[in-house]
Amino acid sequence: MDKFIIYGGNPLRGRVRISGSKNAALPILCSSILSGGVCTYTNVPDLDDISTVCKVLEQLGVVPEKTGKNSLRLHPQNITSHEAPYDLVKKMRASILVLGPLLARLGRAKVSLPGGCAIGVRPIDMHLKAFAKMGAEIDLSHGYVVARADKLRGTRIVFDNTTVGGTENVMMAACLAEGTTVIEGAAKEPEVTDLAGVLTAMGAQIQGAGESTMVIEGVKSLSGTTYEVIPDRIETGTFLVAAGITKGRVTIEGGRAAHVTAVIEKLMDMGLSISEGQGGLIEVDGGCDLKPVHVETVPYPGFPTDMQAQIMALSCVAQGASSITENIFENRFMHVPELVRMGAVLDEKGRTVLVQGIERFQGASVMATDLRASASLVLAGLNALGYTEVRRIYHLDRGYEGLDAKLTALGARVTREKGGL
């Protein structure tokens, strides 16, 4: 397994271009199942998770054609299978997003249950309850969800808790259902709005995307389309933190400041200077003494859980006591013991981690456990005295396109070593 060796202490300087959003691209690629024609996508990040979803789609009979590093054409005209097997789904939970489109297009789907993951139990009960309400018969059998519906019916779906994937799955199914589906308590994340964008481009009738109530009028069929994926807001936030933790000065190209408002507000509270330049550039200057911060993760437009580990790393080197509360996932503090190995002073109390600021991290060997935890360890390594070895960076390769190359171009000393534990 590859690892990163990071020599900390270099302030990042220069320009970095943000890649397409992983979490927008995954459901968008799954939505091709609904289409009767060729779908062409641009600004698709070149990531392991994207290759995995392409394999899932290929298994179903969608023919993927890579037309460039960041562009992809999918041919979904001849879907031959309705089954997403365990071997692929276990690699990536988001494979569950084929369930709604398969049910709507073929009237049947057999998708492996994703199982637990490093950040929590992550059940899919809200997805299944919604499909049952739309008229699907659902059985859980031998580790698979087996769903059938001659024709899905539009209905009123109420999500008591926010679910991004649940909202996306139901949206996709509702596009080809009979009648009107109203989703209340819908997730408002930009990735959900982007999915609505592509579905609308395919001919779907969707109102209220990005709001808590969404109304979808079923149509008979959807056509092929060409669509550009939005930039990755979590990668944008991660580079903002990278500038702060190295006291650097970075210009971010191709990100959208409006998608990271809550992150920018917290970072500015900590003392960073952040401004929007011409042509959508985001300028960040981290040359300041960092103030402590209090963060609670909440659904969009609040502070994202996917930035919790990164801001925790930054708060570790702020002057004073910070607190970070995780409200979305029950086990998303796997980075805490690793950050402690790098000298952080952290006290985990249930959903909250109390942080006592230190001057600087110390380089150490640490182990990545999930995608965003890995990012926080890399950030800590960029700040640390001496060298840090971040092992198991395959997690990073799932979600950050060319992170080592981008950091190196900004003046960081990061090298990738192949193999090992």
Residues acting as catalytic residues: 117
Q: Rounded to whole angstroms, how far apart are CA atoms 238 and 1?
A: 23
Give the burial class of 59: count Cβ atoms within 10 A of its Cβ; 0-12 exposed, 13-18 middle, 19 or more buried: middle
Task: From residue 164, give the alpha-carbon distance in Å to each of 112, 210, 416.
Answer: 19, 11, 33
Question: Which distant-in-sequence residues (6+ apart) come within 8 Å of 343 by Cβ?
Answer: 358, 360, 361, 362, 364, 384
Q: Do the beta carbons of residue 13 and residue 250 sit within 8 Å?
A: yes
Instruction: In angstroms, give the least distance from the CB of 371 to ligand EPU.
Output: 4
Nearer to ligand EPU, 19 or 162 (CB): 162
Nearer to ligand EPU, 23 or 315 (CB): 23
89 binds ligand EPU (CB under 6 A): no
Site string for ligand EPU, 316-355 (x = CB under 6 A): ------------xx--------------------------
Amino acid letter for position 376: S
Exactly one of 372, 391, 392, 395 binds ligand EPU (CB under 6 A); that residue is 372
**Closer by beta carbon to ligand EPU, 161 or else 221:** 161
C-beta closer to ligand EPU: residue 192 or 353: 192
The stretch near ligand EPU (CB under 6 A) out of 68-76, 157-165, 222-230, 402-410 is: 157-165
Q: How many residues does the chain have?
A: 421
Work out whether 256 is an interface residue with ligand EPU (CB under 6 A).
no
* Distance between CA atoms of residues 94 and 47, nearest Å: 14
Q: How many residues bind ligand EPU (CB under 6 A)?
A: 24
- Looking only at the bridges linking them, the beta strands covering 71-75 and 63-68 are antiparallel
Q: Is position 399 an interface residue for ligand EPU (rule: CB under 6 A)?
A: yes
Report if residue 238 touches ligand EPU, rule: CB under 6 A: no
Q: Which is nearer to ligand EPU, 10 or 167 (CB)?
A: 167
Q: What beta strand segments (E) does 104-212 contain?
A: 108-112, 137-141, 144-148, 156-158, 180-184, 205-207
CA 205, CA 196: separation in Å to the nearest integer? 9
In the bound complex, what is the minimum distance in angstroms from residue 185's beta carbon to ligand EPU?
11
**Region 107-146 residues binding ligand EPU, contact defined as CB under 6 A:** 120, 122-127
C-alpha 9/C-alpha 235 separation (Å) is 21
Among 6, 16, 26, 209, binds ligand EPU (CB under 6 A): 26
Q: What does R_g of the chain's alpha carbons equal in angstroms?
A: 21
Compute the least distance from the CB of residue 192 to ligand EPU, in Å. 9
Q: Is residue 231 a contact point for ligand EPU (CB under 6 A)? A: no
Q: Return residues touching ligand EPU (CB under 6 A).
A: 23, 26, 94, 120, 122-127, 161-166, 191, 305-306, 328-329, 371-372, 399
